[in-house]
Amino acid sequence: MKKQPSPVTKVLSREITLLPPGKRSLGWLTFGIGIKRWAVLAIVGLILAALGAALSLAYVSVDFSLWVMETITGFTHTIVDSVTLGVACLLAGAICVAIGLRGTFKAVERVYANSNSRSGDFLETALRQREMEKGERVVAIGGGTGLSTMLRGLKAYSSNITAVVTMADDGGSSGKLREEGMLPPGDLRNCIAALADTEPLMEELFQYRFRGLGPLQGHSLGNLIMAAFSEMRGDFASAVKEAAKVLAIRGQVLPSTLDEVRLGAECVDGTCVEGQSKINQTQNIDHVYLMPEKPRALPAVIEAIQDAEIIIIGPGSLFTSILPNLLVPEIAAAIKDSTAPKIYVCNVMTQPHETDAFKASDHLRAIKRHAGSDLVTHVLVNTGRIPEETQERYAQTGAQMVEADVDALRMLGVRPLKGNFIDVTNVVRHNPRKLASVIFRLASKLG
């Protein structure tokens, strides 16, 4: 049965405008906010308590008491005196009132714990959160700044987001922690920060990188927090979850595997290079591989892919951020088996050394060569114009705009999605909102 897109998907926005005064009362009746059920329970509890007090203290007519007793006896076949029944109703009413009030407080706490609009209107915040919770289930696979940039756009449309991140990073702060026996947290940290729904200062603090302080130099605070959680909780997966709670993220961030993996590459001339930080400076890569070859996927990742309504691969460094995830056999198999739209978000610019002169079709061929066919149904490519002076500046570093060879993509059996998806400032990057808009529009059409 075709899935009906939510009203929010139809307008491609999760923003809730302020309700006119005349409609605010109706707004409180919206299903899913989590207030009405507890309020009703509290009211029922008050009624029961009043009835119980009346029965137990004989403040109502004898005829009414007798009618209540006869009705109860008819249903239960047990004779109970009015005082006992009154006390029972009084206790049940008190319990219902307590549970109802607690549920109401919890509902308020849930809305404001998951929203940075703590000074805003409760009803508007609750309605917005409800729509976000109804958003499509999205799995985004990759790593590096490309994935985290896109996640900032996706979280405006849905809170049902799972980011799957490579565990092959071995540079910078992650590399130092890896030497101490910890899995690399860097790409996970970036995705957690991107999905954060908390005060900007908290995100800034989480991403802060120490410039001095001796042994702390080069480390980001978020990485150290995750290292602390890893020691406190005893495992890396729990550390990621706890760090996500700190920033109250929309969705979840998962490592592709908890096995300790390293990335290797073989070049066209037969030479081999080991380590992600070295590979992204290597030219003429023929293929990359993981060591060990068949790491185990995190079970939660497979479950998320199987449940996904949209699967997104990229953007990010092709050989060092995207392919390491797809080289985990269970992940590639789960993507192939999925009937959801599978969108590869192609990079805007080539990456010096790693993807010199690559066209969009070259990226797709590399994916097929490493992980097989049927992993991609759509390729999102940018056809927006980049100013000449910006292209010249990039050319000095060896980078150029990725050619959107849409005919070649069609020949490879995928549907191109072309358009202007970029922002051009001091760097050329995907515009998160533009990416999210076209992705959710596609999901709405195919859902």
- End-to-end alpha carbon distance in the chain: 9
CA distances from 102 to 108, 333, 340, 366 (A): 10, 45, 40, 55
**What is the per-residue pLDDT across 91-142, written as a single tens digit (0 to 9) for each?**
787 888 788 777 776 766 666 555 555 445 555 666 666 677 788 999 999 9
- What are the residue boundaries of the structural domains of the chain, listed by start? 32-129, 135-166+256-446
Residue 259: per-residue pLDDT: 95
CB 279 within 8 A of CB 354: yes
Q: Region 206-233: what's the mean pLDDT?
A: 87
Q: What is the residue whose two structure tokens read 């799972």?
A: 162
- Position 10 pLDDT exceeds 60: no
150/154 Cα distance (integer angstroms): 6
Q: Is the pLDDT of residue 3 over 60?
A: no
User: Counting runs of H as helices and runs of E as strands, what totals does the chain give?
Assistant: 20, 12
More confident of the two residues 311 and 199: 311
132 burial class (0-12, 13-18, 19+ CB within 10 angstroms)?
buried
Indicate the pairing of strand 285-291 with strand 415-419: unpaired
Higher pLDDT, 225 or 212: 225
Question: In the prediction, which pLDDT does 88 show?
Answer: 74
Between 113 and 240, where is the model more confident? Answer: 240
Decide if domain 135-166+256-446 falls under CATH 3.40.50.10680: yes
pLDDT of the residue at 9: 42
Higher pLDDT, 299 or 9: 299
Q: Please tell me the predicted confidence (pLDDT) of residue 204.
A: 86
Spatial contact of 191 and 155, defined as CB atoms under 8 Å apart = no
What pLDDT is recorded for position 142? 92
In this model, does residue 89 exceed pLDDT 80?
no
Q: What's the token pair of residue 73?
A: 């006896």
CA angle, 403 as apex, 401 and 406 as ends, to 5°?
150
pLDDT of 22 reads 52
pLDDT class of 228 with cuts at 50, 70, 90: very high
- Report whether pLDDT(335) > 90: yes
CB atoms within 10 A of CB 234: 9
Count the helix, strand and coil residues of the chain and give each as a percent rounded to the nearest 5. 50, 15, 35
Distance CA 101, CA 95 (A): 10
CA–CA distance from 82 to each of 45, 54, 61, 146, 245 (Å)? 18, 10, 12, 71, 51
User: Model's pTM, two decimal places?
Assistant: 0.75
Buried b (16+ CB within 10 A) or exposed e, 399-427: bbbbbbbbebbeebebebbbbebbbeeee
Q: What pLDDT is recorded for position 85? A: 65
- Give the largest Cα separation in the chain, rounded: 100
More confident call, 186 vs 380: 380
pLDDT-derived band at 445, boundaries 50, 70, 90:
confident
Q: What is the spatial distance between Cα 242 and Cα 184, in angstroms, rounded to a whole number? A: 16
Q: Tell me the pLDDT tens digit for each residue of 383-393.
A: 999 999 999 99
Residue 11 reports pLDDT greater than 90: no
Mean pLDDT across the chain, nearest whole number? 83
Residues 6+ apart with CB under 8 A from 324: 143, 166, 167, 168, 256, 261, 263, 276, 288, 290
Provide the pLDDT for residue 8: 39
**pLDDT tens for residues 28-86?**
445 555 666 767 777 777 777 777 776 666 555 555 566 666 776 777 666 666 666 66
Question: What mean pLDDT is predicted for residues 181-202?
Answer: 87
Where is pLDDT greater, at 90 or 60? 90
Among the ranges given (111-115, 172-176, 212-216, 376-380), the one the predictor scored with the smallest mean pLDDT = 111-115
The number of beta carbons lying within 10 Å of the beta carbon of residue 302 is: 17
Q: What is the pLDDT of residue 20?
A: 57
Question: In whole angstroms, what is the distance from residue 153 CA to residue 382 CA?
Answer: 16
Q: Tokens for 164?
A: 């799957």
Tokens of 39: 């309020």
Q: What is residue 12's predicted lDDT score, i.e. its pLDDT?
A: 40
Contact in structure between 130 and 33 (CB atoms under 8 Å): yes
pLDDT range class, residue 426, cuts 50, 70, 90 = confident
Q: Which residue has the higher pLDDT, 110 or 418?
A: 418
Q: Count the Cβ atoms, other than its own, within 10 Å of residue 260.
A: 15
Which amino acid belongs to residue 432? Answer: P
